[in-house]
Amino acid sequence: MQIGKVGIVGAGTMGASIAVALIGRGYPVVLKDVDEQAVRSGMGRIDRLLDSRVKRGLPVDEAEAMRALVQPATDYSAFPDLDLVIEAVGEKVDLKKAVFEQLDDCCNIHAILATNTSSLPVTQIASFTRRPDQVVGMHFFNPAHLMKLVEVIPGLETSADTVRTAIEFGQKLGKFAVRVEECASFLVNRLLGRYMNEALWCLQEGASLEEIDQAACDFAAPVGPLALRDMNGADIGLAVARFNYQEYGERFRPPEILERMVEQNLLGQKTGSGFYLYNSETKKRSGPNPRVEDLLKDLKAKPEGDAQFSVERLFLPMINESFLVLQEKVCAAEDLDPALMAGLGLKKGPLAMAAEIGLSQCLKEIESLFRTKGERFRPAPLLKRYVWANRMAVIA
């Protein structure tokens, strides 16, 4: 199926960013939200993004032509003409249910309905329609007009044609479109969650903010995990952590410091204070937040055994989870590292890290941490099999 005109439901930060990604490739877009004010706000976001491109050299006439491709809407009257609709509303099942029921009624019978959910079950969302075979997850990464990854997630009933069309469409947007089988938090956010949590466990054991963030940046990350938590918001981080804990169990247990941060409204950049302090106007970081140290005093635990802080300790949970992902066939092995690099900006993916450290050494360190830290370091069976088979890497 060829995609011509596209609808986006939700003109917030993500919806506007997706719209810019589309019009940048020449796709006409209907941008819909609940009222005129919400739509105007969305169009304002698009204008600001295009203005920033003009400042970086985009010709004004090209920016104006892109802007003209966006049709603002507060109802579904233009939707019967669309080939694809991307839902980008809040992460609430009831809200998505209402949207997909309306889309099912007003879109033509051949239209594909995509959800930009970052974690909710695609199969459940598809069940709100009479066309579950034409519903697919298309998880863009923020900011969608810049980030190079889109996860394409089939539900249980999604047809092969729908998946193929979604992947081809993602590729035409210049994205690395990777097929990911349905699971909680999908691929990238699932692996990210293990790494983000471990940074907090290390903090509770006495490693410093700067030590953790600098080690992560020196090893592979574009920004440290604690600075990243401040960027995304501790409240959002806690909601995601609780969801993953509910779905996956003990290895995803949220560290208590995250709960305390949310209780104290230390949410990060949006409140001016998180793990670090921020200028209220520029959002520039000004140093560690002393209130966090006060919170940590009651939580700090002495490292057990020889489990001192190390940069490998930060990434070993992500590496271990990668082998669980491969064991579950969530994605193709050759797609895992490119997806993590495109979605998170890592300099190297977890499988490359594992090969660099050595699979046998990874297993040795994970087993040691399992003895002292418990369930969150239970070794992945597939990692053990690779070591027993004397494999040096996942992909030869």
Spatial CA neighbour of 334 closest among 179, 150, 192: 179
Alpha-carbon span 118 to 310, nearest angstrom = 30
Structure letter (DSSP) for residue 112: E
* 208 three-state secondary structure: coil
Supply the DSSP string of 352-378, one letter for each residue: HHHHHH-HHHHHHHHHHHHHHH-GGGP
Tell me which of 32, 96, 131, 139 is the catalytic residue.
Answer: 139
Give dist(CA 273, CA 287) in Å, integer. 10
Q: What are the residues whose beta carbons fall under 8 Å from the beta carbon of 1, sequence distance 6 or more?
A: 83, 110, 112, 161, 165
Specify the 3-state DSSP secondary structure of 143.
coil
- CA–CA dist 387, 396 (Å, integer): 14
Q: In sequence order, which residues have a C-beta less than 8 Å from that of residue 266 and are 6 or more positions away?
A: 234, 273, 274, 275, 289, 291, 292, 295
* Cα angle, residue 23 at apex, residues 104 and 149 outer, rounded to 5°: 80
CA atoms within 13 A on the CB side of 254: 21
Count of CA atoms in the C-beta half-sphere (13 A) of 56: 6
Q: Is 139 labeled as catalytic in the residue annotation?
A: yes
> Which helix (H) or strand (E) segment is 289 a member of?
none
Q: Between helices 381-388 and 359-373, what is the axis angle to 10°?
A: 140
Helix (H, G, I), strand (E, B) or coil at 114: strand
Contacts of 147 (CB under 8 A, 6+ apart): 140, 141, 342, 343
Q: Looking at the chain, list the stretches that DSSP marks H as alpha helix, in order from N- to C-terminal side.
A: 13-23, 36-55, 60-67, 93-106, 122-126, 160-172, 188-204, 209-219, 225-232, 234-248, 256-263, 290-297, 311-327, 333-344, 350-357, 359-373, 381-388
Catalytic sites, residue numbers: 139
